[in-house]
Structure 1
Amino acid sequence: MASKLKKREKKYSLADLKTLGQQLLTSRLHINNLSILLTFVTPDSPPQHALESLLSIQSFFTPLLPLLPASTPSHESNPDPELVYRVWLRSKFDDFVQSLCDVFISSKSDDALREVALDAVMEFVKVRSAGKFHSAIYHKLLHSIVHCMLDIDDSLLDLLTTKYFKFVDVRYFTYVSLEKLARTLEGKGNKNGRIDVEDQSHVTSSMDLAIYKIHYILSHIPPLEASGEKLDVEAWTDLGIFIGRSNSKGHTKREDISAESQNPNHKVLPSKNVSKKMKLKFTKAWIAFLRLPLPVDVYKEVLVALHEAVIPYFSSPIMLCDFLTRSYDIGGVVSVMALSSLYILMTQHGIEYPNFYDKLYALLEPSIFMTKHRAKFFQLLDSCLKSSLLPAYLAAAFCKKLSRLALCVPPAGALVIVALVHNLLQRHPSINCLINREGDTGTGRGNFEEENESLQNAEKCSDPELFDRKGGFDHFKNEECDPKETNALRSSLWEIDNLRNHYCPPVSRFVLSLENDLAVRSRAPEIAVKDFSSGSYATIFNNEIRRRVKQVPLAFYKSTPTSLFSDFDFPGWTFKFKDAELMNENDQAIGTSEVHSDKSAKRLRTN
C-alpha cells in the first residue's frame, strides 16, 4: 500500500491535482478525474494533496446533491443513461463521505484537515435533502466515531461539540443516532455468550471503547433549557427539525417553522414547541445507554452527574428508578453516588423504596469518611433524617451508629458526626434517653442472654475490685444491619462523652458546644452539616493556625504527675510504687553519693 502511494505521489503533483479539479468542475468529459481525486482523500496521503482533492470534490458534489437518487433504483432492461450516470455519482458520493469520516477519525490526519473534513460532512448534511437535515450522513459520521478501534483524542470530539452542538437539530439527531448505536451495542453484548473465548476480550475492549465515546458525546450535549427558562434556539438547516402538520382541509400548518426572511441560512425556533420532542429523544438516548454494560469508571461518572445533568431534562424521571435502585443495592461507594439521584426521585417524583433506611444504615462504615464524595453523602444523610415522622428506634440507631464510628474515624469525620448527632437530638426529643443514661442501661426486658454472659465473665475475674468498678453493659449491637434489632434505645451516647478528651482540640471544643446547646435546647438552632462535610486534616490545620489563642499551655500538667495513667482509666489497676519511702531513700543516697563524688573531683583538680 505504501509503495502504491509513493508511485501515485510521483505521478501526480500538487499542481496536477489542481488541474484535475478544475477540469472536473468545468466539463463532464473529465468525470474520470473524480476517481483519481478520491484516491488522495485518505489519512495516508500528504495533507496538501488530500486537502486539494477534498475541496475539489466538495465543490463538484455540492450543486449536484439534490439531483442524486435517494436510493439505488431497481434493475431495468433498458436503463436511462442519465439515471445510470446519477447512480454512479451516488456511489462515488458515498465513497467520498466515508473517506471524509476516515480522515476525521484518523490520528494520522492533520488537525486542519480534520476540521475541513468535518465541515464538508456537515455541509452535505445541510444541502443533501434540499434544506432538510440529512440524518443518514450524520449517522454515518457518528457511527465511524463510536466504532473506531482507536482511542480518539478529546480535542477531536470537542471540535464537534463546540462547533455544532449549539444547533438544536444537530442535538436532536445526535440523540437519535446515539440511541441506535447504543441499541446495536446492547444486541452485541447479549450475543457475547456465543463468541469464542479468544475473541471475548477483543469484543469487550471494543465495546468499552465505544461506550466511552457515547458517554462523552452524551455528556457534552448542552441542555435545551437553562434553569427552567425558555430559550430561543438556532437550527443548522433551513427547515429545522419538524415538518408541519396537515389539517382537515389538507393545508400544511407549520407552527414549528418561523419566517425564513429573518435569516435565510439559519432558522430560529421557539424552544416551547421543541422542548417536548427534545426531551423525548434525550430520554430514549440515555435509557438505551444505561442498559449497556458500563465500565466501572463510566458507571461512577454517570451516577455523579445523573441528578444534575440528566434527571431535570428527562421526560419521565421515574424511568430511572430500576437503574438507581440496582445501583443503590450494590453497596459501598456506588451506593453513595446513587443516593443523590434516588433521593430526588423519592422526594420530588413520589418513588417508594421500602428498604431505603436499612440500606442507608448499612452504608455507615469507616470507609465512607475516606471517599471522594463524602461531602454530598453527609448532606443527604442529614436531609434524609430530617423528617419528624421517623420512628424513635430508627433515629436512635443512626445516632448510636454514628457515635460508635466517631471512635475510629479521622478528626474531620468526628466533627461531622457531632454535627449529625446534634441535629438528631434536636429533631427527635424521643431519643433524649440516650444522653444521661449511666450504669446498667437494662430495663428489665430485652436480651438477657448478653447480660448473663457479661456477668459470668465478670465473675470469673480474680480481682473483686475490678468487678465492682465495672461500668454498665452496652446493649447496642454494632454489627447488626437491621436498625430494629440494634437495641439502640437501651444504650447511651458514651462515645460522644469520650470525645471530650479527644486528642484534636477542635473535636473536644465542638463536643463542649454540643453539651451547651443541649442544655438550652429551645434556643439552639440546627448545625449546617455542609460546613463540616468536606473537612480534612488540611482544613483543620488551616483553621487552627488562623485561630487566635489567648492562653498558651507551657506544660502538659499543672502539677507533677505521680503515675502514668489515672485510676479511672483502668479500674482495678495501679501504676504507683508500693514502697515509696524506699524509693525516696534510694534517691537521697544516690544524691549524697553524687555530691561526695563531686567534692572529690574538685579536690583532685585543686591538687
Structure 2
Amino acid sequence: MTMAISTKTATTKMSSSAEIATQIKTLLKPHNDEGLDAARLDELRKVFASLIQSNEFSLERTPTRNSSLPLSSSSVQHKWHAFLRTSHKKFLLQLCDRVESGKRTALRTLWGVVATSPTLSSNSAYQVVSTTLLRLLVRVVSRLPTWDKSIHHMLQAEFLQPYRDVQYYTLIATVTIANEIYKQGTSVEEDDQEKQVQAERLVQLLMLIPIPTSQQELDNDDGLLFPPPKNAVPERLHEDDNAASDDSGGDDDDDDDATVASTSSVEDADTNDKPEQHKEPARKKRKTVQRFAFSQLRCHHRAWSRAWLAVLRLPLSTSSLKQTLIFLPSKVLPNVHDPLHFADFFMSAYDQPQKLHSVLALDGLFLLITKHGLEYPGFYKQLYKLLTPSVFYVKYKPRFLRLLETCISRNELLPAHIVAAFIKRTLRCCLQAPPASILVGLALCSNWLRKHGETACLVHRLPPIDSDGDGNLRDAFDSETDDPEQAQALQSSLWELEALSQHYYPAVVTMAKSIGREDELQTPLHDITDFLSHTYKSLFEQERKRKSTKKFKPSLTFVQPEGLFLTDDVFAGFLSSRSSPGTAEEGTNE
C-alpha cells in the first residue's frame, strides 16, 4: 500500500515536472523584440526561484537518491535535476550575453537571480549569498561596455547599499575576478585595453561599497539579504578570509579572532583558568561575542584591503588612476589593517613623468610617511621637482599647494637648506605667476620663514655684486637643478621680494613688503585656504567694490597722454587727417 502511494505521488510530481519542463523549454527560446525578451528572462527567473524555494532545485548540491522511491523514479529524478541544471546554465548564459551587450534590464534580472538563489552555509545551519552567482555577477559587471548614471544608481541602491552580507561577499568575489584578469595574457594590445576597461569597472564597483568604520556600525545595521536565525552558530571563516589573514600578515584585534568560538568554549576556558585566578585576582574574564564573518569589522576591512590590492595590480587607464589616487587616502587607507601594503602603488604613481599623477599621489604618500612610518628618502626631491611655474596655472593648483604647505610646515625636522630651496623656488615661480597665485606663494613663504627661523637670513642678506664690476647681481641659487640638496639656497637671498614689491597689484606689493618684518612675527600664520579661492575675476570684483577714500581717480599711466595715440605712433596723425576735410567742407557750406 505504501509503495502504491509513493508511486502515485511520484507520478503526480512527474506530471507537474513535465509541465514545468515544457514551460522552461519555451522560455529558453530567445525573442527578437527587446521588451518581450526581457519579460521572458524575468519569467524564467521566477520559475527557477520557485523551484529553489520548494527545494526541488539547488545550485550547490547534487540531489541524493530517495530510498522510498522505485529505482526507475529515482533515475527520472536525477534526469530531472540534470535538465534543470543544464537549463539554468543556459539561462545564465543568455543573461550574461545581454548584460555584456549593455542591456540594463538583464543586469537587474541577474541580480534578481542572486537575490532569490541562496545557498546553505558549510554547516547547513543557515542560508548565505551564493558566491558562485555573485562571482558571475561581478564578472559580468567588469565587462559592461558603458557605465552611466542609471547603472551606477541600480548597483548602488538595489545591490550594494542595503545589504552588508552582499557587500562582504562582493569584496571576496572581486578578488577572484581581479586575479582571473591578472593571469590572462597581454600579448595583444587589444587584450591590454580590454583589461583596462575591466579594471575600470571593478574600481567603479568598489567605490560603490560603503565600508563600515566601526563594529558598532555593523552591530546596529540589520540590513542583510539572508539574515541567519538567532540560534544559528557561525561557520568557520571562509577560505578567502583565511587567505586574507595570511596576506595581511598582521595580528588584528584579539577580541575578534575568535570568530567561531562559542560561549561554551569561553566558559570552559574560564573554568580551566580558575586555579590561576588565586595568583592573579585582578584578572578579568574576556567575553567572546559570536559574530558571522559578514558581521565582523575585521573581516570587512581585510576583504576591503585584498579587493583593492588585487584590482590595483591590473593596468589602469588614466581616468581610473586619477579616481583611485583621490579615493584611496580618505576611504581606503583609514579602513585597512596595514596601509603600507599600498605604498608601492603610491610610489609608482608619484614617480611617473606625468605631473598630475604625481600630485594626486602626494596626498596618500604623505599620509603613509607621517602616520604609518613609511621611509621614502626621495619624497622631497620629487616634490621639489613638481614645483614649477606651470603648477600655478593648472586646475589642480589648490590641491597641490595645500599639500605643499602641509608637507613643509608640519615637518619641523626638515633641514634649513631644504626649506630654503623650497622658498626660493616658490618665489621664482611667483615672478611668472598671475596675481592670485602670487598671493598664495607669498603666504606659503611667509609661513615657512616663520616656522623655520633658521631661514630668516635669506630675507636680510643682500646679494653680492659680480666681481667683473659691471654691476650685475649674482645669485648663488641654482634654479636649473631639480635637487634641493644641490640648489645652494642658503647662500642666496630673497631678492624676488624686492621685485614683487614693484608689482602692479597693490595687495601683492603690500604682502611682499611685509615678509621679514619684525611685526609680522606677532601675527598668526596665514590660512592658505583663504588665498586658494582667489581668481582674476574675484580680485577684479574685490577692487571694483572697494570704496576708495581718495578724492582723485587712480592713475592708469605713468605720463598723462595728450591724445589717443602717442606722438611717435604710426597712427598718431590718423584722426587729424581724417577730420581736416570735414572741417574744410563745413567752412565752404557756411
TM > 0.5 between the two?
A: yes
Query: What is residue 218 of structure 1 aligned with on the other side?
Result: 206
Q: Does residue 479 of the first structure (1) align with residue 449 of the second (2)?
A: no
Kindly indicate whether the alpha-carbon contact (under 8 Å) linking 2:263 and 2:288 is maintained by their aligned counterparts in 1.
Answer: no
Return the offset for 1:407. 0.7
CA offsets per residue over residues 479-526 of structure 1, 9 Å max, x none?
0122222121221111111111212333223223436xx231441221
Work out whether residues 464 and 473 of structure 2, in 8 Å CA contact, stay in contact via their aligned partners in 1: yes
Given that residues 99 and 140 in structure 2 are in contact (C-alpha distance below 8 angstroms), is that contact kept between their aligned partners in structure 1?
no
Deviation per CA, 1:106-145: give whole Å up to 9, x if none.
4356x4x653453233222478986222111111112122
State the partner residue of 1:243.
Answer: 235
Aligned to 2:375: 352
> How many residues were matched structurally?
499
Q: Distance in 1 between matches of 2:389 and 2:98?
A: 52
1:187 is aligned to 2:210: no
Q: Is the Cα contact below 8 Å between 1:419 and 1:529 reproduced in 2? A: yes
The residue number in structure 1 matching 2:515 is: 514
Shift of the 359–276 alpha-carbon distance from structure 1 to 2, 3 Å rule, reads: same
Residue of 48, 53, 65 corresponding to 2:43: 53
- Please give the alpha-carbon distance, in whole angstroms, between the structure 2 residues aligned to 1:137 and 1:439: 73
CA 435–348 in structure 1, closer or farther in 2 if over 3 Å, else same: same
SS of the equivalent of 2:401 reads helix
After superposition, the Cα gap between the structure-2 partners of 1:439 and 1:63, relative to the gap in structure 1 and judged at 3 Å, is closer
Give the Cα–Cα distance (whole angstroms) in 2 for the partners of residues 55 and 396 of structure 1: 69
Query: Structure 2 matches for 1:377-526, cutoff 5 A?
Result: 377-386=400-409, 387-440=411-464, 455=468, 467=470, 470-514=471-515, 518-526=517-525
For 2:25 and 2:79, locate their aligned partners in 1 and report how far apart those are by CA, in whole Å: 16
Cα contact 1:24–1:31 (8 A) shared by 2:
no
Contact 1:43-1:108 at 8 Å conserved across structures: no
Distance 2:195 2:478 in 1: 46
Q: Distance in 2 between matches of 1:413 and 1:251?
A: 64
Q: Distance in 2 between matches of 1:228 and 1:553?
A: 66
CA distance in 2, matches of 1:43, 1:132: 36
Distance in 1 of aligned mates of 2:540 and 2:349: 36
The alpha-carbon deviation at position 232 of structure 1 amounts to: 2.2
The CA RMSD measured in Å over matched residues stands at 3.9
| Structure 2 match to 1:291 | 313
Aligned to 2:85: 90
Quick one: structure 1 residues 293 and 24, their matched pair in 2 at CA, closer, same or farther if it must change by over 3 Å? farther
Cα 1:409/1:114, change in 2 over 3 Å: same
Question: CA offsets, 1:279-325, max 9 Å, x none?
Answer: 00000000011111111111111112211121111121011111111
Distance in 2 of aligned mates of 1:355 and 1:89: 62
Normalised to the residue count of structure 1, the TM-score between the two structures is 0.73
Shift in alpha-carbon separation, 1:257–1:169, aligned structure 2, 3 A: farther
Aligned in 2, Cα 1:59/1:182: closer, same or farther, shift over 3 Å? closer
Counterpart amino acid of residue 510 in structure 1: M
Residue 81 of structure 1 and its aligned partner are, at CA, apart by 2.9
Aligned twin of 2:190: 202
Counterpart among 25, 28, 32 of residue 35 in structure 1: 25
User: Are 2:357 and 1:368 aligned?
Assistant: no
TM-score by length of 2: 0.75
1:530 aligns with 529
Q: Is the 8 A contact 2:419 2:448 kept in 1?
A: yes
For the structure 1 residues 322 and 38, does the alpha-carbon distance in structure 2 shift closer, same or farther, using more than 3 Å as the test?
same
Does 1:342 pair with 2:365?
Answer: yes
In 2 relative to 1, CA 52–96 (structure 1 residues): closer, same or farther, beyond 3 Å? closer
Secondary structure of the residue aligned to 1:330 is coil
Deviation, 1:249, is: 8.1
The one-letter code matched in structure 1 to 2:178 is A
Q: 1:48 & 1:485 partners in 2: Cα distance?
A: 68
Structure 2: which amino acid aligns with 1:514? I
| Residue segments in structure 2 that go unaligned for 5+ positions in a row | 1-11, 65-70, 237-259, 269-286, 563-583
Quick check: 1:115 aligned with 2:108?
yes
Contact 1:151 1:209 in 2 (8 A): no
- Structure 2 partner of 1:277: 299
Q: Is the 8 A contact 1:415 1:532 kept in 2?
A: yes
Deviates more, 1:89-98 or 1:295-304: 89-98
Q: Which amino acid aligns with 1:120?
A: V
Over alpha carbons, which structure has the higher Rg? 1
Give the C-alpha shift of residue 83 in structure 1: 2.2
Q: What is the identity, as a one-letter code, of the residue corresponding to 2:177? A: L
Aligned AA for 1:381? L
Question: Distance in 2 between the 1:136 and 1:182 partners?
Answer: 15
**Partner amino acid, structure 2, of 1:520:** D
Corresponding residue of 1:585: none
Q: What SS class does the counterpart of residue 501 from structure 2 fall into?
A: helix
Q: Give 1:376 deviation, angstroms.
A: 2.1
Counterpart position of 2:567: none
- Alpha-carbon distance in structure 2 between the residues aligned to 1:32 and 1:315: 51
1:263 is matched with none
Q: Secondary structure at the match of 1:80?
A: helix
Give the aligned residue type for 1:219.
Answer: M
